[in-house]
Amino acid sequence: MPPSASQPTPARGTIAFEHWDFEALAPSHERNREVDDRRLAARRKLAALAKTVVSRAADVDLALDSRTSLHHPHAFNGGRVRRLWAYVCRPKKEKTRLRRVLGADLAGDLDAAYRNAYLSIAIEHGALEVALRIHVDGWYDGQNLVKRLHSQGQDGLRHWLEILNRLDGFRLRLHDWKGEWRCGELSLERLEEYLKHYTPGEHELAIERRWPVPTSPDGREPILGPDVPVTLVDEATRLFEAYDFAAWSERSDFLFG
């Protein structure tokens, strides 16, 4: 999102999704400025969920911060809003530390959330999603993971495999490839296959879990209960270990090793 975009006040109280949180992202409304207030309401809910994820991360000594995506059509999103999400990624202090390690020429715009490894909670017209992503432009976090696995050899690879296989329900995905690697049932050989093809700076790495959301209002009722946002936060929390292993930090510094 543009650095200048202001962040909304997170929603208060018990969070539950509503029909319009999804309907405002339908193809018929994605360019419609008249439903910006509906999308803002959904964005505030995502902001609240992200703040809860940040708080839980602090409880396990993991420093994170949160931001949300734009809720109105803008040049940045191609004039349409098909998806809303909350980013949870390294805070400003850690970005400054990483910038010193990389140097000005390599660091680029670390203020953009997607240029860092990040956790996200997202909603679309027909889906809910929780994910850990390392964007192509966040190559330094991808490189940190690859270097860590290389330097630690089979021990590091088996540790990464154990972390991924504790994430049953998620899938490891490589950029826009059709193949998928299902967490919870990965073998060492399958993981080695993935890493053979993954190149930081060329491919996005994602560990994601998606739930289909019926596009008809009547079919959405099960998604509108207060337990659903709690589940999204719980699933994002499960990704902490994978994030901490992969992303560059003072305690996981393998970038130039």
pLDDT at 5 (0 to 100)? 61
8 A C-beta contact, residue 30 and residue 82 = yes
Q: Which amino acid is at 22?
A: F
Q: Determine, yes or no, domain membership for 190.
A: yes
Cα 227 from Cα 107, distance rounded (Å): 40
Q: What DSSP state is assigned to residue 2?
A: -
Question: Which residue type, as a one-letter code, is found at position 150?
Answer: H
Contacts of 90 (CB under 8 A, 6+ apart): 63, 64, 65, 98, 116, 117, 247, 249
- Is 2 part of any domain? no
Whether 6 is in a domain gets the answer no
The pLDDT of 89-97, averaged and rounded, is 91
Number of helical (H) and strand (E) elements in the chain, helices listed first: 8, 7
Could you please report the per-residue DSSP string of 42-96?
A: HHHHHHHHHHHHHHHHHHTT---EEEE---S--GGGTT---EEEEEEE--HHHHH
Pairing of strands 205-212, 181-182: unpaired
- Structurally, the chain folds into a number of domains equal to 1
Do the domain assignments include residue 1? no
**pLDDT score for 256:** 80
In this structure, is residue 253 part of a structural domain? no
Interatomic CA distance for residues 73 and 79, integer angstroms? 4
Report the CATH number at residue 128.
Answer: 3.30.930.20
Range of the domain at 166: 19-246
* Residue 209 pLDDT > 60: yes
* Residue 257 binned pLDDT confidence (cut-offs 50, 70, 90): low
Q: What is the pLDDT of residues 111-133, one digit of tens each?
A: 777 789 999 999 999 999 999 99
Range name among 15-24, 171-180, 230-239 with the lowest pLDDT average: 171-180
**CA pair distance 126, 16, nearest whole angstrom:** 17
Helix/strand/coil for 36: helix
What pLDDT sits at residue 233?
Answer: 98
The pLDDT of residue 107 is 66
What mean pLDDT do residues 49-54 have?
A: 97
**Residue 197: pLDDT over 80:** yes
14-34 burial by CB neighbour count: b if 16+ within 10 A, else e?
A: ebbbeebbbbbbbeebbebee
Evaluate whether residue 211 is within a structural domain: yes
pLDDT of residue 245: 97
pTM here is: 0.93
Tell me how far apart the alpha carbons of residues 60 and 243 are, in angstroms, rounded to a whole number: 13
Reported as a pLDDT band with limits 50, 70 and 90, residue 179 is confident
Q: Does residue 205 carry a pLDDT above 50?
A: yes
Local confidence band at 1 (pLDDT 50, 70, 90 cut-offs): very low
The string of DSSP letters for 150-187 reads: HHHHHHHHHHHHHHHHT-TT-EEEETT-S--EETTS--
107 occurs within a structural domain:
yes
Q: Would residue 219 count as lying in a domain?
A: yes
What local confidence, expressed as pLDDT, does residue 44 receive? 97
CA 247/CA 118 separation, integer angstroms: 9
pLDDT tier at 4, thresholds 50, 70, 90 = very low
